Amino acid sequence: MSSLSDSNDERLSPDCSVILCRACDLAVSRRALPSGVRAICPRCQTPLYDTPYCAVDGVLAMCIAALILYIPAMLLPVLEMHFIGSVRTTTVWQGALAVAEQGYWVVALAVLIGAVVGPGLLISSVLAQMVIIKNRLYRFNSGRKFFVLLLRYHQLLSQMSMLEIYVISFLVTSFQLSDFADVYFGMGTFCFTMLFLVVLFMLREYKLEHMWSYLNEGE
Amino acid sequence: MKANNSVQGKDLGLCRCDDCGQINNTTESCCLRCGAKLQLRDYNSLQRSWALLITAAILLVPANLYPITTLTKSGRVTHDTIFSGILRLVHSDMLPIAVIVFTASILVPWLKIIGLGIYLSAISFNLKFSKKKLMLGFHLIEWIGRWSMLDLFVISLTVALVNMGQLLDAKPAPAATAFALVILFTQVSAKVLDTRLLWDQLEQQDDAN
């Protein structure tokens, strides 16, 4: 990886051999990479690009698996507490509602976005993208517009989805409560953890740059 | 590689689309691939980022001083701030959990605000810090910032589970909202900032030397 150090008198045309760093605007010449290797900006260490290829079928499969797991993960209780004979259970959804009922709707909104809406939108967005690619719908005008919209918000959605933090949070809660009550995990806990793992691997396989490159095809 | 040798896209008359990464000529006003508006540099982002950071810093005070949970145990009511909650965990021999909660609710928000403050000052006041270290810190802040949400998730689960009236009852307290807003504002502050501004300014310094 080397930066363009020769002084260019004439202006370069926007071709594929030059890329600019997202964070520091350094001009870097593009090279083919062996698989599993990531190019890093020589000046500011920001990741530039990696293998611009991803298995659409693999992402689609994991996306469908995530969608199937999403429903029980949201509906079944993630934690169960036994305290002097009385049993309390909670789902992700009820956790947010309980806080909202106390008047803390900002906190409730944060929980809803991070654990329910964020992951839900992310999974549906990826599913829609895969359907568009599979059926080559991006060649049509409306399909292309929708595809661009989904890609534009992909990074925001993947930041809004906080499944990994939620998984740690029910571990922390169970330890805290185990001081004065018995805490049990249920089927919902299992589904939620599996959902986290499937989404994790889906996002590892998913390459945003590759998705954008489908738009070059029509030109 | 010497830093003065590096050529920026700005010098080549090229502009990277913020949305899709396509390289366009600076003469274009919209990206050729995705149609987003092209902007060589977003100078206003510095001001926006400062405003959000200052708001977050102000909110950090109530978030730490006010109680974040109210616990009723056998009729006795105790208010816990973020810090006293962690002390309680340490006293009840749950050190690993205490370390996790401490990192997520105290270390990360403070580091984020101080780190972003240093980063923005370096751009605004032309401070001479190592830009590589600044950038490394910035990426770390971007990555670790979301983990503060842990405390809010724990509160929501605890409040939903522990509701047995006078016997045992947990409720959120005012600091929870302040803390949620601190996370929101610091995350948005880091997200809106155009980091290329830092590298432009330090380039100018190199030329002067």
Q: Are residues B156 and B64 in the same domain?
A: yes
Q: Which residues pair with B69 in a beta bridge?
A: B80, B172
Which token pair is A138? 């991006």
* Amino acid letter, A87: V
Q: What is the pLDDT of residues B139-154, one digit of tens each?
A: 898 888 889 999 999 9
What is the average pLDDT across B56-75? 92
Do B88 and B5 lie in one domain? The reply is: no
B159 to A143, B36, B60, B68, B72: CA distances (angstroms)? 44, 44, 23, 12, 12
Work out how many CB contacts closer than 8 A connect A with B. Answer: 220
Would you state the structure tokens that stand for residue B144, as one six-digit string? Answer: 């670790």
| Mean of the per-residue pLDDT values of chain B | 87
pLDDT at residue B99, rounded to an integer: 93
- Domain tally, chain B: 2
Residue A1 has pLDDT above 60, yes or no: no
pLDDT at B117: 94
User: Which of A21, A29, A44, A179 is the mutation pick for testing B, counting most B CBs within 10 A?
Assistant: A44
Q: Do B97 and B13 share a structural domain?
A: no
The pLDDT of B169-182, averaged and rounded, is 93
| C-alpha distance from residue A140 to each of A145, A172, A185, A218, B177 (Å) | 9, 49, 48, 9, 45
DSSP state of A41: -
User: What was the pLDDT predicted at B9?
Assistant: 83
Domain containing B107 equals 42-208
A165/B10 touch (CB, cutoff 8 Å), yes or no: no
CA distance B153 to A95: 8
Asked if the C-beta of B144 comes within 8 angstroms of chain A's C-beta atoms, the answer is no
User: Can you give the residue ranges of every domain in chain A?
Assistant: 1-50, 56-216
CA atoms within 13 Å, Cβ hemisphere of B121: 10
From chain A, pick out residues whose CB is under 8 angstroms from the CB of B177: 104, 106-107
Q: Looking at residues B58-79, what average pLDDT do you find?
A: 91
Judgement on whether residues B33 and B58 belong to the same structural domain of the protein: no
pLDDT score recorded for residue B204: 61
> pLDDT tier at B20 (50, 70, 90 boundaries)?
confident
For chain A, give the mean pLDDT.
Answer: 86
pTM: 0.87
This complex has an ipTM of 0.87
CB A170 within 8 A of CB B157: yes
H-only helix segments in chain B:
9-12, 44-65, 82-91, 95-102, 108-124, 131-144, 149-161, 175-192, 196-208
Q: Give per-residue pLDDT as tens, B88-144.
A: 889 988 898 999 999 999 999 999 999 999 999 988 888 878 888 888 899 898 888
Specify the pLDDT at position B203: 62
Using a CB–CB cutoff of 8 Å, tell me whether B30 touches chain A: no
User: Sorting pLDDT into bands at 50, 70 and 90, what band is B5?
Assistant: low
pLDDT of residue A9: 35
How many CA atoms are closer than 13 Å to the CA of A73, on its beta-carbon side?
24
Sign of the dihedral through C-alpha A86, A87, A90, A94: negative
Are B16 and B77 part of one and the same domain?
no
pLDDT of A124-174, one tens digit each?
999 999 999 999 888 888 888 899 999 999 999 999 999 999 999 989 999
Read off the pLDDT band of B82 (50, 70, 90).
very high
User: What pLDDT shows up at residue B17?
Assistant: 86
Q: Decide if A212 and B167 are in contact by the 8 Å CB cutoff.
A: no
Mean pLDDT computed over A11-30: 73
Same domain, B146 and B178: yes
CB half-sphere exposure, B155, CA atoms < 13 A: 35
Inter-chain residue contact B9 with A25, CB threshold 8 Å? yes
| Pairwise pLDDT comparison (A72 vs B22), residue with the higher score | A72
| CA A55-A57-A63 angle, 5° bins | 105
Q: Which amino acid is at B67?
A: P
| B133 and B71 inside one domain | yes
pLDDT value at position B107? Answer: 93
Whether residue B12 sits in one domain with residue B61 = no
Quick one: fold of A56-216? Butyryl-CoA Dehydrogenase, subunit A; domain 3 (1.20.140)
> For residue B62, with 0-12 CB atoms within 10 Å meaning exposed, 13-18 middle and 19 or more buried, which class applies?
middle
Query: Of the candidates B11, B177, B184, which has its C-beta nearest A104's C-beta?
Result: B177
Q: Which carries the bigger pLDDT value, residue A53 or residue A104?
A: A104
Of A14, A44, A172, which has the smallest distance from its Cβ to B150's Cβ? A172
